[in-house]
């Protein structure tokens, strides 16, 4: 009960990539050295989670430069040399994005070896994360499809093939990250969820979706300031998500102006990964603060549906901060578990 995990990413060690930076370049251009550095970083990421007493572990997303662009490097139809500067997340910020120039096709295994490596280094349940179709579409320039739903369905098929292979390689949970679900609210029921359900069709493991308000970077913090006293995005989308084929929904609550009763909109039909750790601050929460959020969540869903978690990925944080936050998460969950 109250099994703990992080959303997905952890900071990268300085010998792998520049710390506290998104899209940080790798520290080495030598493929063999880079491979070894990634492997070492994955082992440490798993060890840090195990030492913090988290129940479900990830590879810390150590092998990818960015949570969206990592998967795209091995898909046909995307020109990585043709970067186009576009506004993403409804123009919240600009990014140099690769351009879709042809029909999308998976060239072959993308993350299989990463899952197999992580699987070989932990006995705990292993979660693996990939970007969801809507968020991928929103993080790319398109010069081919001219239609976001159609492009999302093409990505859903690729993600579905990939997810099935990752289950065979040892993943226990496949989670799709869909921060775009908090931005394009109208498109979630019309095509966002359709694409997501297509991505998990026939995938024989626990499946999840992570929906958040983003990393603690300035553009996101500025955006949150415009959202008013109550952040009602989840209230709009969760009723439709309750009807989807997804098993778990990962939501942000710590330090967020999100009413926790939105959990009830899932009607006890989904596991809820309750974000009880704020990734925008550099101080670890107290275990009591974590416990308070878990207790509040328990008023709106049965205990077997509650999974204490972080709000979002921790890649931009200093390593010592991420470790302290993981320990606080586990300690807070332990307090509430003892009460139940």
Q: Which positions lie near Zn ion, rule CB under 5 A? A: 212, 312
Q: How far is the CB of 265 from Zn ion (least distance, A)?
A: 19
Q: How far is the CB of 257 from Zn ion (least distance, A)?
A: 16
Q: How far is the CB of 275 from Zn ion (least distance, A)?
A: 9
CA–CA dist 45, 51 (Å, integer): 10
Query: What DSSP line would sit under 223-272, residue for residue?
Result: HHHTS-SS--HHHHHHHHHHTSS-SEEEEE-TTS---GGGGGGGTT-SEE
Q: How far is the CB of 147 from Zn ion (least distance, A)?
A: 26
User: 154 or 274, CB closer to Zn ion?
Assistant: 274
User: 273 or 301, CB closer to Zn ion?
Assistant: 273
In this structure, are residues 212 and 275 in contact, taking their beta carbons and an 8 Å threshold?
yes
User: 293 or 336, CB closer to Zn ion?
Assistant: 293
Nearest to 118 by CA among 192, 61, 70: 61
Could you give the strand order of the β-sheet that contains 75-88, starting from the edge strand earlier in sequence?
75-88, 93-106, 141-142
User: 312 or 336, CB closer to Zn ion?
Assistant: 312
Which residues are 84's β-sheet partners? 97
Q: How far is the CB of 312 from Zn ion (least distance, A)?
A: 3
**Which run of H or E residues covers position 129?**
strand 127-131
Q: How far is the CB of 214 from Zn ion (least distance, A)?
A: 6
User: 131 or 287, CB closer to Zn ion?
Assistant: 131
Q: How many CA atoms lie within 13 A of 61 on its CB side?
A: 27
User: 130 or 153, CB closer to Zn ion?
Assistant: 130
The pairing of strands 127-131 and 141-142 is unpaired
């Amino acid at each position: 009960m109250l099994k703990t995990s992080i959303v997905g990413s952890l900071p990268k060690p300085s010998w792998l990539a520049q710390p506290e930076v998104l899209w940080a370049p790798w520290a080495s251009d030598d493929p063999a050295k880079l491979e070894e550095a990634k492997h070492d970083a994955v082992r440490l990421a798993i060890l840090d989670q195990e030492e913090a007493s988290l129940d479900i572990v990830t590879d810390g997303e150590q092998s990818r430069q960015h949570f969206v662009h990592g998967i795209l490097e091995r898909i046909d139809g995307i020109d990585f040399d043709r970067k186009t500067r576009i506004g993403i997340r409804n123009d919240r910020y600009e990014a140099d994005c690769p351009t879709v120039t042809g029909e999308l096709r998976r060239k072959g295994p993308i993350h299989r070896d990463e899952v197999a490596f992580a699987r070989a280094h932990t006995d705990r349940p292993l979660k693996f994360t990939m970007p969801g179709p809507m968020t991928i579409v929103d993080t790319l320039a398109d010069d081919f499809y001219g239609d976001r739903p159609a492009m999302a369905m093409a990505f859903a098929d690729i993600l579905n093939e990939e997810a099935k292979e990752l289950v065979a390689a040892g993943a226990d949970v496949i989670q799709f990250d869909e921060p775009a679900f908090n931005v394009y609210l109208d498109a979630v029921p019309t095509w966002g969820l359709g694409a997501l359900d297509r991505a998990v069709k026939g995938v024989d493991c626990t499946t999840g979706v992570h929906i958040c308000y983003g990393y603690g970077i300035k553009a996101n913090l500025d955006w949150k300031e415009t959202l008013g006293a109550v952040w009602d995005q989840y209230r709009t989308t969760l009723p439709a998500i309750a009807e989807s084929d997804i098993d778990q929904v990962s939501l942000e609550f710590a330090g967020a102006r999100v009413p926790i009763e939105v959990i009830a909109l899932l009607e006890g039909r989904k596991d809820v990964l309750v974000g009880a750790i704020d990734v925008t601050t550099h101080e670890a929460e107290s275990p009591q603060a974590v416990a308070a959020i878990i207790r509040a969540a328990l008023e709106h869903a049965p205990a077997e549906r509650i999974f204490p978690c972080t709000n979002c990925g921790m890649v931009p944080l200093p390593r010592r901060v991420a470790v302290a936050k993981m320990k606080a998460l586990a300690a807070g969950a332990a307090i509430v578990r003892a009460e139940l």
